[in-house]
Chain A
Amino acid sequence: MDDKVAHPRVSPRTSATFDDYTNSEIRRAASTGIYDIRGAGAKRKLPHFDDLLFLGASISRYPLEGYRERCGTEVTLGDRFASKPLQLKIPITIAGMSFGSLSGQAKEALGRGANAAGTSTTTGDGGMTDEERGHSKQLVYQYLPSRYGMNPVDLRRADAIEIVVGQGAKPGGGGMLLGQKINERVARMRSLPEGIDQRSACRHPDWTGPDDLEIKILELREITRWEKPIFVKIGGSRPYYDTALAVKAGADVVVVDGMQGGTAATQNVFIEHVGQPTLACIRPAVQALQELDMHRKVQLVVSGGIRNGADVAKAMALGADAVSIGSGALIAMGDNDPRWESEYNALGTTAGAYDAWHEGRDPAGITTQDPELARRLDPVVAGRRLANYLGVMTLEAQTIARACGKNHLHNLEPEDLCALTVEAAAMARVPLAGTGWVPGTPMG
């Protein structure tokens, strides 16, 4: 072979397995000796509501007139046993987020936005603040393993109680609020010293298993005179069995949170590798309710990656009575807004990717306890933005429902849907587009 002949060169090829992100994570681990902790939910590509489409009306289905014919959106949550169920104008609620992980201004804005839209908001790990109660007409009080700030006075002034068994971002995991977010007030509410890391337990301290849960629910009902709806929130782990067990234990409402659901702080490996996508959780939960003859009697709230009215409509078509939003609400209020791009850059990230919510340096003033940063968020303005967002989501869902001929969002049904992928078809148990085939069932 002549050495002077130039050989054609192949392009440098990076590995699909060891891609840039993976390599950077390996280098980070090698450098720091600790796993990555971050906020938000799963960022990987997952089967989701985008993989479903509504079919719309046709000769055999006639639509309702847009802007003219009514399409109802109201929902009642918790009328199985509670004497005072939640009556919401829209089926989109605000998910539990703690004072501590969020600034007081952010919590106030959530309340203001939810009020304006006619829906509920939810406390989080750390207890209920007076401001939160004052700014939320309908407030769900979370009953968490840590029991930080838990007391019977707040229990009675809540409008509903949500027993948190798990959350989608970390089914089976607890949490850790790092010391830099523990100011004097947060520490006092949690009965712990200021400035130290605060572990949120992964198990309840006084019950294990469904039989105990039934007794725990009895106790909470007795303390609150059987007035308050009792929600049971589960992570998207085993939605069929967990839903059935929650119903058996006496829940009024079951909240199922898929792995796209956000968290204030958890190990990245946990967020990305534990739990099931929201899309995969809904039909097993509905199946459990139907088999117990409890569908629509025990309400199902779905959360985890709900972004717009189409997602709302799809979740409800699959059998949910309502949805819950967290990340979307924060974004509406200003989280990860490009207006703070230079400050995100200074933190080594970019707008849209900022997830170091546990560090308390949020330029948008939302996931922080720094007074200077928190002041950047005007609760009135942010509340208005949230109300607008909730309103748009509702209008979008109504638009779709009318196109499917439905005079209430609750009348949407799986038959209104088809799937773009085999995976989504299998998870949602609707036909693959252009076919009558629902994976797992005989060819239609």
Chain B
Amino acid sequence: MNAPQTAPKRQGTQTLDLGELGLRAVNSRLQDISEGSNETTWTVSNPMGQHAIACGLDSALSVDIAGQVGFYCAGMNQEAEVTVHGHAGVGVAENMMSGTVRVKGNASQSAGATGHGGLLVIEGDASSRCGISMKGIDIVVGGSVGHMSGFMAQLGHLVVCGDAGEALGDSIYEAKLYVRGTVESLGADCIEKEMTPEHLATLTELLARAGMDADPADFRRYGSARTLYHFDIDNASAY
């Protein structure tokens, strides 16, 4: 997927040139903005695949990153709305708490890892371990996800509009997985579950929030069989 690397120009937007200012200065400027400030709209130019861009933001900013980003972009995000106009490296929005992170392109492995809240949207594909150990985050992927996605997923929702690689939802806890395409295989203790009206409503709402044009009726739901919740020697063969 070729993602556009330019950010839309909006009135009042201030631009931080990462190539010129350096990572610390850019992050510091964004982290320093206090609640109630009117400096809420920002563009980061020349990201050049650098790591840890816009991580640790904790106020309701809108940040457009004009290009590709490296590891951990928007890591531990709180409140902010971060859009990557390009592809994202490993661990985009890792341990996110709230807010929205959108990747216009593809994302590397461990997208949204351990996220506690907020919405992560990946318009392209996501690599392996998408949503690993997720703890309440909602993740919507426009394309497909790689193997071991949803590994040890605890809470939240992972919506995959394309296909899922092998061992989906391995050792899953209470997270809910929705896949429109094929699932190569399910991991330990992950099973297909009934799509109730309640789940359908949740899925419909997530797709709408993510701006995905997909029919919820095409999806199947997966979750935990809960057979590994208490150690039982009879389950040893499962792992």
Contacts and interface: CB of A to CB of B under 8 A. Distances in A.
B31 A205 contact: no
Contacts of B52: 215, 218-219, 222
A295 interface: no
A25 interface: no
Interface in A165-180: 176, 178-179
A206 B78 CA distance: 19
Contacts of A190: 154
Contacts of B90: 206-207, 212, 215
A151 B135 CA distance: 11
B61 to A, nearest CB: 15
B55 A222 contact: yes
A212 B114 contact: no
B72 A151 contact: no
Contact of B71 (A205, A212, A223, A224): A212
B77 to A, nearest CB: 9
A336 interface: no
Contacts of B114: 147, 150, 205-206
A205 to B, nearest CB: 4
A192 B174 contact: yes
B161 interface: no
A199 B171 contact: yes
Chain B, interface size category, equals 35 or more
Given A215-B71, A216-B72, A223-B75, A152 B91 contact: no
Given A218-B52, A219-B52, A147 B230 contact: no
Contact of A219 (B72, B110, B154, B155): B72
B231 A207 contact: no
Interface residues of A, number: 33
B176 interface: no
A33 interface: yes
Contact of B55 (A147, A151, A196, A223): A223
Contacts of A216: 71-72
B78 A178 contact: no
A146 B116 CA distance: 12
A219 B230 CA distance: 35
B231 A219 contact: no
Contacts of A146: 133
Nearest to B75: A219
B91 A147 contact: no
B91 A222 contact: no
SS class of chain A's interface: helix, strand, loop or mixed? loop
A191 B117 CA distance: 11
Given A147-B135, A206-B72, A207-B90, A152 B229 contact: no
A193 B173 CA distance: 9
A172 to B, nearest CB: 16
A270 interface: no
Nearest to A214: B51
B231 A193 contact: no
A225 B78 contact: no
B154 A191 contact: yes
B132 A176 contact: no
B83 interface: no
Interface stretch (B22-30, B118-126, B190-198, B211-219): B22-30
B18 interface: no
Interface string A136-161: 00000000001100111001000000
Interface in A188-233: 190-193, 196-197, 199, 201, 205-207, 212, 215-216, 218-219, 222-226
Contacts of A193: 173-174, 229
Interface string B41-62: 0000000000110011010000
B23 A222 contact: yes
A205 B132 CA distance: 6
Interface in A243-259: none
A197 B91 contact: no
A162 to B, nearest CB: 16
Nearest to A193: B174
Contacts of B72: 206, 215-216, 219
B97 interface: yes
Contacts of B76: 151-152, 155, 223
A191 B71 contact: no
Contacts of B113: 147, 205-206
Contacts of B97: 151-152
Given A150-B114, A191-B155, A216-B71, 13 more contacts: A32-B233, A147-B114, A151-B97, A151-B116, A155-B76, A191-B135, A191-B136, A192-B154, A197-B228, A199-B171, A207-B90, A216-B72, A219-B71
19 contacts: A32-B233, A146-B133, A151-B95, A152-B58, A152-B95, A179-B229, A191-B135, A192-B174, A197-B228, A201-B152, A205-B113, A206-B109, A206-B114, A215-B71, A215-B72, A222-B55, A223-B76, A225-B31, A226-B24
Would you list the 8 A-B pairs with minimal beta carbon distance, nearest first?
Answer: A223-B56, A206-B91, A191-B135, A147-B114, A206-B110, A196-B229, A152-B76, A219-B52
Interface of A: 32-34, 146-147, 150-152, 155, 176, 178-179, 190-193, 196-197, 199, 201, 205-207, 212, 215-216, 218-219, 222-226
